[in-house]
Amino acid sequence: MPKVQQAVTEFFGKEPRKDVNPDEAVALGAAIQGGVLGGDVKDVLLLDVTPLSLGIETMGGVFTKIIEKNTTIPTKASQVFSNRRRQPVGRDRARAAG
């Protein structure tokens, strides 16, 4: 972990916090969300996001992003794609032409 901590320090320009227990942070977030959904906690806005970019594979195996990671959901996005018409090969070509 020292290499990861060093990389984080270099990237952000400050030391990462080490006093946060990840399991407790998740449990606290779940408790807050439960309170919001149950109506016991007010004045808190929780936003859900998509953790990964969503998209499709296009020609050449390229991944084309349609929705970027960390976009709040629900969301809506559209993009127009066209498919490449494949020409028949071999014996199928004769059948397709005739």
Residues 24, 26, 32, 37, CA torsion sign = negative
Choice between 88 and 94, residue whose per-residue pLDDT is larger: 88
Instruction: Please report, for the chain, the start and end positions of each structural domain, with discontinuous segments joined by +.
Output: 1-46, 48-79
CB-CB contact of 64 with 58 (8 Å): yes
> What mean pLDDT is predicted for residues 51-55?
95
- The type of residue at 36 is V
| pLDDT at residue 95 tops 60 | no
pTM recorded for the entire structure: 0.51
The percent of residues above 70 in pLDDT, for the chain, comes to 86
What's the CA angle centered on 68, arms 67 and 73, to 5 degrees?
A: 65
What does each C-alpha distance from 9 to 2, 41, 85 come to in angstroms?
Answer: 10, 35, 51
Spatial separation of the C-alpha atoms in residues 73 and 56, rounded to whole Å = 18
